Structures are given as structure tokens and as C-alpha cells.
Amino acid sequence: MADPVISGDDVFSHACLGAKDLATSTAFYDAALAPLGIKNMGPFGDSAVLYGKTKPAFLVLKPGNGDAPSGNGVTLGFAASSPADVDAFHAAGLAAGGTCEGAPGARGHLPGAYAAYLRDPAGNKVCSYTFV
């Protein structure tokens, strides 16, 4: 894999979510992120998995201290190209062991927002948004 390039326009270099059961969380993210064009880019050592479109930007990992609590008030959002992609993210995530935290639909707090929310198998809150 080529070295990732971080531009001056990037806000984050990457994001991480913890998981005690890496295999279960990997299966969830492989399924939920595929409709968004985000792919499993392989392992990072023996305790993390990298995800991205063209470069690694999201890691699912076993935390160094072994504890992977859910971050109360923390949500990681993934961009979608269309409402259909948001719907597919939600359906795939549910089928892969996630739980619903907000069904797909319009969100009145942002003009044109369409989103869906899930909890991953480790209890992390994730969502997908698009704007129509």
C-alpha cells in the first residue's frame, strides 16, 4: 500500500473505534461500510483493521489497555452519496449485528439531511449522512 497523503484541507488524519471482539466488529463494518464505498484495507498489526476508500482513514482496534467502552456522546459519521446508500448502510449494519439508534430518514435539524444511526456490536454509535 502506498503511503497515505494528508493534505492541508484534511481535518483529521484518521478516526478509531475500540472493539473487544475484533472479528465481530470487522464483520459489522465490512457489511455496513460497503454500500458507502468504504472497504476493508486489511489488518494493521494483529490488533486493528484499516478502512478507507483510497487510503486508510478509519481503524477498528483492540485498545492497548484491553478496555473498549462505548463513548457516551461520541458518534462517528460516514458520508453517503445518496439516501439509498444510507438505507443500505443501515440495513447491512442491522443484518451484521448492529442495533438501530435512528431509522433512515430526513433529519429536520439540518436542511436536506438524510441519515441513519446504528450501534456497532461493541456499543459504538455510528451514522451515515447525505444531503439532498
Q: Which residue blocks in the chain are alpha helix, DSSP H? A: 22-33, 83-95
User: Region 92-117: what's the mean pLDDT?
Assistant: 96
For domain 15-63+74-131, give the fold. 2,3-Dihydroxybiphenyl 1,2-Dioxygenase; domain 1 (3.10.180)
Residue 121 has pLDDT above 80, yes or no: yes
37 φψ region: left (φ > 0), alpha (ψ -120 to 50), beta (else) = left
pLDDT interval class at 1 (50, 70, 90): very low
For the full predicted model, state whether its pTM sits above 0.85.
yes
Domain locations in the chain as residue ranges: 15-63+74-131
Lowest average pLDDT, out of 5-9, 82-86, 90-94, 99-103, goes to: 5-9
Among 117, 109, 126, 17, which residue's Cα sits nearest to residue 75?
126
Among 130, 125, 100, 101, which residue's Cα sits nearest to residue 115?
130
Taking residue 94's Cβ as centre, other Cβ atoms within 10 Å add up to: 17
The reported pLDDT for the residue numbered 2 is 47
Residues in the chain: 132
The residue type at 6: I
Dihedral (Cα; 6, 34, 66, 77), 10-degree rounding:
60
